[in-house]
Amino acid sequence: MLSVLSSAATEQQIQGALLAQLVECLLLEGWFTPEQLQTSSTEVYAPKIAGQLANLPANDKGNYKKSYQDFFAVKNTVLVVDLPNNAQLLLLVTHGYSAPWRLAVPCLPLYLYAEETQNLRLDIIDNVHDLLNYSLSAMDAEQLSMAGVSKLQESLAASIEAAKQSAHAPLHTAVYARPHAYQTLIAAEAWASLMDRPFHPLAKGKLGLGAADYARYMAEFHQPIFLNWVAVARSHIMCADAVQGGADTPAYYLLNEDMQALLIAEMQDRGLQTHIALPVHPWQLKHELPTHYADDMAAGTVVVLNFAALPTYASASLRSMLLSDVTPHSIKLPLGVYALNSKRYLPALKLINGEKNQALLTQAKTKDRTLDAHLHLWDERHWWGYMPPEHTADKSNINPYFYQEKPTHLGAMLRTLPKALCTESIRLLPMASLGMCVQQTGASYHLFDELIAAASFSTRATMIDGVAQQLGTSAHVFARLDRVQQVALGYFYNLCNIFLGTMLRCLRLGLAPEMHGQNIVLAVTEHQFSGVLLRDHDSVRIHLPWLMRHDLDDPEYLSPPDFKNRLYRETPEALIFYMQSLGILVNLRAVIESLAGHYQLPESLLWQTAAASIQHAISVIDFDTDQANLLHELLLTAPTYPYKTMLLPVIERGSDAHGSMPAGESTTVNPFVQALTSNSIAEMNHTNDDNNNHKDSYDYQHLLDRYSRAD
């Protein structure tokens, strides 16, 4: 079961995907004690529930009857959770690659209990609310924050409604083939937004957005968003060191000459020559500015302008706005919406740390010629933000307004593409857009389709040769693939070399950029992945001893007094954690599962291909011996991986507002160890059988026909 939501998904499919995500979270986060959770088998439970399976109702739940009967007809694993009142939760599972267990497709959890007559009763759990409530009932209520439980339930409900709404978004299946590079990026961001953060059950919920706002402001709906503008007294503006004088404003970069003239004319007519114009998201103007800046508006320090002529499009992050024009510039704005249970603030302290990290990344590029060629940085050194006048020049960590909410709600950060990527021959694809499929009119679409269709015969042959030489013991599996599958696998290997190879080069220097799919943008040159473009530099983590090996400077991050900034990682393992958790278990896994489903590729073969890419990178990058040995062990041979927990931290945080996603840490299996022990041929045969048996599988012949003409 793919853990990403596809366009045009039904409510049943949405619930099924969320149930799979929720089960994985519950097991990996340790919601159940060892005494409550036992591993059993269908041999034990089949005799107990055979009658109940036969009597499943002939409604929507009855669609699962055959799947359950098939599952219990042979020996399979059943995880049993003991619940209050002698009830049990039955999880019908198979082995996973990023988790020890995952729900078998399409077997939803079962609730087994005794009626007053002592007869056993079996219910299918077909919605996440019931599963969550049953799971909470198994926990010690005294250890739970009731405010946190309510927040979790609220976020889960919002995610379900949002997923239903997004399923009707008019996504275009032509993305890469659009005539202009900026159009490709806007369209690809819509795909990334539809998926959002993969494997996070709360990702789609944006607390604060009503249904109308959701359809208006989320990227998958592709609606132009005309930014509002406010004039802020220059005396109340803190800006980046790179901002040069009074004419260096957001309007200078974002507006054409005609728009600038209109804005200037209004400010002159209203006597606002002492102010600077800042763009504001329409939702923010309506919901947050009146709350936080009423006094400033009354005093004329903040003035709402009539000008609203700039059309923009949302990115997957919701508050990063893209311009529908040939320009290197885009803008990131604060938005007081809760996403992943954190408010989307824009604090000056993080912007300053982002400047420090951009300088560090720029310096790192001088230490490695290949890194310099493949790593690109969105320039984020121009920003403006509200700040009381007595503190606008204070960029020390003792500025008290760095730690207050009000200044974080009014500001703007400019993003500027590097010149090397400002050509129409370059295409930019957020990596998150490669982790999902769009299903329309009986066919499935993946962005790899357009790459394969656009590539020449020789490029596709190069892709095949590149991956075939690295697969080793999996070569016999590769030989059984058809040509489309081989090319798709070759493109995946190309992606791994660029993404994983670039991130490994960063780790060598003591750096771990933010590696989830919204932050990583892939550059495509001549229909091949050619580079990694980073954004949001405020989240780069470092390990100082490795940094100093290569004469890289300590960024000297700002943080609250007497607080150790978490951008510093004390051990190499703590630095590599970000590649394991976000880079591999989230970002790369989403791509693997989408390709496995779309091209009918064995999932184990895709993991083996990624492992081959890592092994190759470790062998060719100039690592010190201790680094190479540690990376090989932690990434490829260690039995476990660290896992970022997502739901229990929401409960633990309770109702406290915060600007970062609640997260903790536990462990899961190493996906590469799992993959190397899997039978890829058996998996491929099973996948083909599944697709032949299910009417809702994509039309694979349709895909073959699309490319047969090119070969």
Note whether 558 and 459 are same-domain residues.
Answer: yes
Note whether 395 and 463 are same-domain residues.
Answer: no
pLDDT at site 1? 36
Determine contact, residues 41/77, Cβ cutoff 8 Å.
yes
Specify the DSSP class assigned to residue 553.
Answer: P
Residue 671 in domain: yes
Domain count, the chain: 3
252-291 tens-digit pLDDT: 999 999 999 999 999 999 999 999 999 999 999 999 999 9
Residue 700 has pLDDT above 50, yes or no: no
Structural domain boundaries enclosing 244: 158-421
Residue 385 has pLDDT above 80, yes or no: yes
402-417 tens-digit pLDDT: 999 999 999 999 999 9
Mean pLDDT of the chain: 91
Note whether 277 and 383 are same-domain residues.
Answer: yes
Rounded to whole angstroms, the Cα distance separating 107 from 71 reads 8
Rounded to whole angstroms, the Cα distance separating 540 from 551 reads 18
Once rounded to an integer, what is the mean pLDDT over residues 436-455? 89
Rounded to whole angstroms, the Cα distance separating 468 from 612 reads 11
> Which of 392, 421, 450 is the last residue before a domain boundary?
421
Note whether 247 and 126 are same-domain residues.
Answer: no
Residue 637 in domain: yes
pTM of the model: 0.94
Residue 150 in domain: no
If pLDDT is split at 50, 70 and 90, which confidence band does 117 have?
Answer: low
Residue 441 in domain: yes
Q: What is the CATH number of the domain that holds 605?
A: 1.10.510.40
Note whether 617 and 477 are same-domain residues.
Answer: yes
Q: Which residues contact 646 (CB under 8 A, 6 or more apart)?
A: 25, 29, 200, 201, 202, 661, 662, 663
E strand spans, 257-308:
275-280, 302-304
pLDDT at site 128? 95
Rounded to whole angstroms, the Cα distance separating 76 from 81 reads 16
Element housing 18 (H / E): helix 11-28
- Based on the number of CB atoms within 10 Å of its own CB, is 257 exposed (0-12), middle (13-18) or buried (19 or more)? exposed
292-330 tens-digit pLDDT: 999 999 999 999 999 999 999 999 999 999 999 999 999
Residue 32 has pLDDT above 50, yes or no: yes
Residue 405 in domain: yes
Residue 5 in domain: no
Angle among Cα 533, 535, 538 to the nearest 5 degrees reads 140
Note whether 524 and 599 are same-domain residues.
Answer: yes
505-555 tens-digit pLDDT: 999 999 999 999 999 999 999 999 999 999 999 999 999 999 999 999 999
Note whether 593 and 529 are same-domain residues.
Answer: yes
Once rounded to an integer, what is the mean pLDDT over residues 152-163? 94
Note whether 165 and 222 are same-domain residues.
Answer: yes
pLDDT at site 212? 97
Note whether 295 and 282 are same-domain residues.
Answer: yes
Note whether 521 and 393 are same-domain residues.
Answer: no
> Which of 369, 404, 421 is the last residue before a domain boundary?
421
Note whether 503 and 638 are same-domain residues.
Answer: yes
Residue 152 in domain: no
Determine contact, residues 590/432, Cβ cutoff 8 Å.
yes
514-527 tens-digit pLDDT: 999 999 999 999 99
- Looking at 33-37, 344-348, 457-461, 695-699, which range is the least confident one? 695-699
Rounded to whole angstroms, the Cα distance separating 166 from 170 reads 9
pLDDT at site 58? 57
Residue 444 in domain: yes
If pLDDT is split at 50, 70 and 90, which confidence band does 54 have?
Answer: confident
Angle among Cα 399, 403, 405 to the nearest 5 degrees reads 125
Note whether 71 and 182 are same-domain residues.
Answer: no
pLDDT at site 662? 78
> Which of 143, 173, 197 is the last residue before a domain boundary?
143
Residue in 530, 516, 536, 501 with CA at minimum distance from that of residue 620: 501
Rounded to whole angstroms, the Cα distance separating 488 from 606 reads 10
Residue in 312, 535, 260, 523 with CA at minimum distance from that of residue 415: 535
